[in-house]
Amino acid sequence: MGASMEIKSVFANDELLKLLESCDLLVSDISLSNALYFFGSYQDGRLVGVVGLERFGAVALLRSLAVSAELRGSGLGRKLVGFAESEAKSMGISDLFLLTDTAEQFFTKLSYQLLLRENAPAVIKNTAQFSTLCPATSSFMSKQL
């Protein structure tokens, strides 16, 4: 089951981009950023789950969370977020921010809180996701680590 799968650092290679695209997530800004970290989970040699951190000093955007459709509901999404949070913490990141069109309730369950976009730190406002790629109607959420 997904929940027992190991999670490790992964590169933003074609397999990762394809998984994100198959989950309708943005990939257009991925090669542009130089502070992106991805963590993934494999089943039978195939990447089935991924989560990313886009870091700006003590804050980061949690992004690119995707679980293969056939494995959803088994706890892998929760495990990936938990892994990214503990990696972020060990990197000295104190606050995570995210934008989502589809998973607000999922993140609420994981103790993320809704925030007004105007209250975003400047570095987060300047990200491509925040400023141009995600619609103004996307939920903006944060969690203190």
Ligand X SMILES: CC(C)(COP(=O)(O)OP(=O)(O)OC[C@H]1O[C@@H](n2cnc3c(N)ncnc32)[C@H](O)[C@@H]1OP(=O)(O)O)[C@@H](O)C(=O)NCCC(=O)NCCS
Q: Which positions lie near ligand X, rule CB under 6 A?
A: 23, 25, 65-67, 72-78, 98, 100, 102-103, 105-106, 109
Q: Give the C-alpha separation, 90 to 24, whole Å.
A: 30
Q: Give the C-alpha separation, 112 to 105, whole Å.
A: 9
Question: Which residue's Cβ has the minimum distance to ligand X?
Answer: 77
> What residues have CB less than 8 Å from 103, skipping those under 6 apart?
65
CB of 80 to ligand X, least distance (A): 7
Q: Which is nearer to ligand X, 93 or 100 (CB)?
A: 100
CB of 66 to ligand X, least distance (A): 4
CB of 143 to ligand X, least distance (A): 13
Q: How does DSSP classify residue 53?
A: E
CB 33 within 8 A of CB 61: no
CB of 129 to ligand X, least distance (A): 9
